[in-house]
Structure 1
């Protein structure tokens, strides 16, 4: 029961909500700012999934996906008070994991997964699927109510440290996944 008490601590909820809001919000803004790059990503997924993401569907997804990411970012912040508000983030992260899994299974026809902030493109892989499944865990935890313990001044310091640590782990995971993909490309004849 100690782990369930820890998971329902308001600081765990605040850190999870802050980290997921930062991740989803920045991803949505990045897609809006680089609309042409996101259109190329959608073309790659469209080619692998039978060409169904062309024309109007692609134009719709180009606006809909980043809008949903921004909505999910706002919803996880509200989940601290209203746990069911985390549902859009849960559904979006699960959908992304599924799409990445299908893309990775169908091969390297997709050059870029569309799930990074610049740098070099990264093809869908099992590592990215696992990364999204791990991100799904704190989003699912946000759907449970937090305990009502009072927050103290030291919780603010803890919150900043937890969010920055989570960001560092996320960036490190992306770097390791990208390096593994690069090593595999180098080892292929």
Structure 2
């Protein structure tokens, strides 16, 4: 029964819209502060020095194009890059944490609001990746009606509020930990 709900067009559309908003906003933040994002990317120390600048220029556009593709197509050729981006971010954070590197800004919002890299951020990205992979499931044959679009709007709004709340709790947890040192 739960598996049937995962293929519900309302759920799939809400995930697609929510992930498009998330990736689009992330790309936009990185474009607005290219120098800041380049510095953040450099602090991860996972790329060769000569690749940091090109990746910092390419990554925001990849996020924005992927966001547009999630809205327009929601096909595997768009879902896989979106999931790969989230997995790459999670792996870069995890690698930095395992190497004992303390990174003051995860780069998620590129200077708009600094957030220390932490394990909860790694888990957040992995959960978002799993949600994105849900878009690979075939939708049920049901067509969306007017009320479905209202529900989609409410789900996206609720999901956005939950995302902001979770990020705030993660940031506050890290701030509290720093204050107790």
TM range (shorter): over 0.9
1:114 and 2:107 equivalent? Answer: yes
2:140 maps to what in 1?
147
CA RMSD across the alignment: 1.6
What's 2:7 paired with?
A: 8
Write the distance in 2 (CA, Å) between the matches of 1:84 and 1:5. 23
2:151 aligned residue (140, 154, 158)? 158
Name the TM-score, length of structure 1 as normaliser.
Answer: 0.89
Aligned-partner Cα distance in 2 for 1:79–1:86: 9
Cα separation, partners in 2 of 1:119 and 1:179, compared to 1, 3 Å: farther
Q: What is the alpha-carbon distance in structure 2 between the residues aligned to residue 148 and residue 178 of structure 1?
A: 41
The 2-side partners of 1:123 and 1:174 are apart by: 11
Matches within 5 A, 1:3-82: 3-46=2-45, 49=46, 52-54=47-49, 56-80=50-74, 82=75
129, 132, 136: which one aligns with 1:136: 129
Unaligned runs of 5+ in 1: none
Matched-pair contact (CA < 8 Å) for 1:111–1:123: yes
Gaps (5+ residues) in structure 2? none
Cα deviation for residue 111 of structure 1 reads 1.5
Residue 93 of structure 1 corresponds to 86
Deviation at residue 108 of structure 1 after TM alignment: 4.4
Equivalenced residue count is 181
* Equivalent residue in structure 1 for 2:168, among 154, 175, 179: 175
Checking the alignment, whether the CA contact within 8 Å between 1:83 and 1:144 is kept in structure 2 is no
State the secondary structure of the residue aligned to 1:142: helix
**C-alpha distance in structure 1 between counterparts of 2:119 and 2:73, whole Å:** 29
Q: Equivalent residue of 2:14, what SS?
A: helix
